[in-house]
Amino acid sequence: GENVEQHPSTLSVQEGDSAVIKCTYSDSASNYFPWYKQELGKRPQLIIDIRSNVGEKKDQRIAVTLNKTAKHFSLHITETQPEDSAVYFCASFPGGGNKLTFGTGTQLKVEL
């Protein structure tokens, strides 16, 4: 089945700096890659996603890039703010499959 690896597991940045989280996937047929944010004690919520027919997508301070050849995708957060502190999960949906496989999560801490 699909295997998604995510790193780093923890990331500390200074407010205003950029943060990058990287994921790799194993199934070359995967075609949908969402990112979820989970604040402490709350439910995961979708923040951005990308499909396999594009290489990059931006939404204000966040962006996701996809390299299908290398089977990896990344989340980029610019001008980080304290409210960005949370656990971020990447996920992959394999073509022909029916379930999202999540990475193990990255604990992002934005320090003042």
Partner 1 sequence: GAGVSQSPSNKVTEKGKDVELRCDPISGHTALYWYRQSLGQGLEFLIYFQGNSAPDKSGLPSDRFSAERTGGSVSTLTIQRTQQEDSAVYLCASSPTSGNTGELFFGEGSRLTVL
User: Least distance (Å) from partner 1 to the CB of residue 2?
Assistant: 10
Binding mask 13-52 for partner 1 (x = CB under 8 A): ------------------xx-x-x-----xxxxx--x---
Task: Kindly tell me which of 14 and 98 has the beta carbon lying closer to partner 1.
Answer: 98
The residues, any chain, with a CB within 8 Å of residue 69's CB and separated by 6 or more, are: none
How many whole angstroms separate alpha carbon 52 and alpha carbon 71?
Answer: 10
Under the criterion CB under 8 A, does residue 103 sit at the interface with partner 1? yes
- Using CB under 8 A, which of 19, 23, 105, 110 touches partner 1? 105
Check residue 69 and give left, alpha or beta (phi > 0: left; psi -120 to 50: alpha): alpha
